[in-house]
Chain A
Amino acid sequence: MKKYILQRVVISLVTVWLIATCSFFLIHALPGDPFSTERIMSVETKEKMLAYYGLDRPILEQYGTFMKNLLHGDFGYSLKNPGQSVNGIIAEKFPVSAMLGIMSWLVSLPLGLLFGILAARKHGTAVDYGLVAFSVLGVSVPVFIVASLFQYLFAIKLGWFPVSRWRGWSYTVLPVLTLSFGSIAGRTRSMRTLMFEVMSEDYVKTAKAKGLSAREIVWRHQIRNAIIPMIPTMGMEIVGILMGSFVVENIFSIPGIGAYFVTSVQSLDYSMTLGLTVFLGIFVVVANFLVDLIYGLVDPRIRVAK
């Protein structure tokens, strides 16, 4: 187990370094500079600006500074939001995105598992068909369609929830529902399949032969074993929710990190794009690392195999 953790730590560190380095050089290789999109600026001012941010130095020197600051957890200052540090923007905006993500995860996990188990238990009935139809639809409809549909139906037509913004609990309902919609559908589908797969395992047959009741078999043997293969997919799920949140934040005017990411990419704000890419990269890498660790802890068979 120790060796496995060490190996994973090394891979994660290499990944983070690779993300930072590739992002740095790709962004600096882009045509144009951060100030060329702005309103006309005299050559001197532009040179002063470039010098101020250190963008006139040799690229390797800039890279050295960037890596040194990165090791201290410092992403530098935003070029397009004067006076604001990238760390400051992340500290201010990321909690909103994180809360949105965590809430969606907390909604989608139990609901998805429940629907999956329900569909498998009621196999061949109307409940099963309904849930299967929902799960197939849920993975085919893009998140911005779901978002607009929910907004149109529940906020504009029915007026149950506020249309947009982020000012209290009632504002969170529609974004969270939208964001969890796809994950619930995906989870329902895989949990249903896993329940069927487990059903033909020897230990379930043994449990039946021992005379356990159907309820006990489902709870003590089927569900426990069916959940295990769901764990490694959680890493993917986190990325999915993160990507979905960019769209949802845009549609529901939520002041999260997503809007900053998109605008900084489009306006060539080097330090913002770099900072956010590396930050989100580290976030996903750490999440995947934790998920793998949990997987190894929960299922002893994985440890042996590795």
Chain B
Amino acid sequence: MNEEVKNSCVSASDFVRVDRGMDSDVIARPSISYWKDVWRRLKTDKVAIICMVYLLIVIAMAVLAPLLSQYSYDSTNLSHLNEGPSAAHWFGTDQAGRDLWARIWVGARISLLIGFGGAVVPMIVGTLIGGISGYFGGWVDMVIMRIIDVGACIPDLVYITLIMLFLGAGPGSIVIAIAISGWMGTARSVRGRMLQFKNREFVLASRTLGGSGLHQIFSSILPNILGQQVVSLTSMIPAAIFMEAYLSFIGLGVASPMTSWGQLAQTGQKVFRQYPYQLFIPGVIISVTILAFYLFGNSLRDAMDPHLRN
């Protein structure tokens, strides 16, 4: 061993002593927060970037296109019925002579609002109830879980039909209907995570320091399960858009002259043998948007937790 050291061509003078001065505590690189780290991984994922750009374009179009278009979504023009796409009407006109370009993007506003509302509202309600149930346990937990056991057995369709009947057709009632049937899944998963976390050291520390119950839930536990919630949010948005399209299609959704993607597809379906573009344009936009949300959600999940990647 010593022989080797002696025979090697590295001498003691090749080593420079690190200065043990004041700045040994300086951190060489800026610290990276969890979300920055997620973004850094997400940026390298081509599919995620394409989906994100597409979704941003759709959102921008939903906001801007109806403002910029020379046609209004509900003004009829009886001399231009069922015209195919042209320079004047980019997506053609429907059976009342309304411009489909304007209608698609007004419909996008409604469909996207329902998508976000139908994901965020049940998420918040479910997180709150699941959090309380998991954190406090005991009879509160028992009652909430029994309610969910029964509630989850009732088919969504029943809830939704009854609520749509009761509140009348419209975007607001669709969101409420989706929320009433959707919060239970979130509540269950949040409760599970809550049980996992509530006896971990950092929560115990918070309790020892005198943090109240709600303080522990909101500042110690929720930040830890936020990632998972964001991921499930990205799958709840397309599910809500899907549901809106379905409801409008069977005539329980948004009523004319207001419009949504589902409603456009429904009116298009009635005449699609003569005018296929009236069904396929909204159809393709709905499908691609749902696809983009799903793919983006998958990439986001991978970026947040690289262990899950398969």
Contact = CB atoms under 8 A, between A and B. Distances in A.
Interface stretch (B10-18, B53-61, B113-121, B245-253): B245-253
Interface string A259-275: 00110011000000100
B165 to A, nearest CB: 6
Interface string B251-287: 1100000000010011001001100100100010011
Contacts of A304: none
B119 to A, nearest CB: 16
A11 B294 contact: no
Nearest to A278: B158
Contacts of B246: 142-144, 243, 247
* Interface footprint category on B: 35 or more
A243 B286 CA distance: 18
Contact of B265 (A139, A142, A239): A142
Secondary structure class of chain B's binding surface, majority of residues: helix
B287 A145 contact: yes
B214 interface: no
A127 interface: no
B156 interface: yes
Contacts of A243: 156-157, 246
B166 interface: yes
A23 B157 contact: no
Given A140-B238, A140-B294, A15 B165 contact: no
Contact of A281 (B155, B262, B283): B155
B158 A280 contact: yes
A285 B154 CA distance: 7
Given A26-B162, A30-B166, A139-B294, A144 B249 contact: yes
Secondary structure class of chain A's binding surface, majority of residues: helix
Contacts of B310: 193, 196
B236 to A, nearest CB: 14
Nearest to B157: A243
B149 A142 contact: no
B279 A239 contact: no
A148 B269 contact: yes
A216 B242 CA distance: 41
Interface in B58-113: none
Interface string A263-306: 00110000001000100110011001000000000000000000
Nearest to A196: B310
Given A14-B150, A144-B249, A193-B310, A265 B165 contact: yes
A137 B291 contact: yes
A136 B161 CA distance: 28
Contacts of B279: 145, 148
B153 interface: yes
A23 B162 contact: yes
Contact of B153 (A246, A247, A280, A285): A285
B237 interface: no
Q: Which 8 A-B pairs have the closest CB atoms?
A: A140-B291, A145-B283, A15-B153, A284-B155, A140-B290, A141-B287, A26-B162, A15-B150
Interface of A: 11-12, 14-15, 18-19, 22-23, 26-27, 29-30, 136-137, 139-145, 148, 152, 156, 193, 196, 239, 242-243, 246-247, 250-251, 261-262, 265-266, 273, 277, 280-281, 284-285, 288
17 contacts: A12-B153, A22-B162, A26-B165, A27-B162, A29-B166, A141-B290, A144-B283, A145-B283, A145-B286, A148-B269, A148-B272, A262-B251, A265-B252, A277-B161, A277-B162, A281-B154, A281-B155
